[in-house]
Amino acid sequence: MKNTHRLKSASNRAVYQRNYRRARDRALARLANAFPDIYRAYLEEERISDEQMGKKWLDLDGNTKPVDSRA
């Protein structure tokens, strides 16, 4: 019985997290469209900050090629 409860709880959390992420991504897209210049400036600042900390921006295949933040 406990195992079933844990699976249901984990499933509910996963659904909540997915829905939160989708809403957050939609809000970010709306902000990027409303303020494109500010969005690009913030994105560039974050990219530079990540590079200084040694974090690489990856493409979907996991390759570390430059990401064009102007797209």
Q: Which residues contact 69 (CB under 8 A, 6 or more apart)?
A: 40, 43, 44, 47
- Distance separating alpha carbons of residues 10 and 40, to the nearest angstrom: 36
Count the residues in the chain.
Answer: 71
pLDDT at 65: 56
What's the pLDDT tens digit per position in 2-59? Answer: 789 889 899 999 999 999 999 999 999 999 999 999 999 998 898 889 888 888 777 6
Q: Which residues contact 68 (CB under 8 A, 6 or more apart)?
A: none
pLDDT at 24: 95
pLDDT at 62: 64
Q: Please tell me which residue, 64 or 32, carries the higher pLDDT value.
A: 32
Q: Which residue has the tokens 């913030």?
A: 42
pLDDT at 37: 95
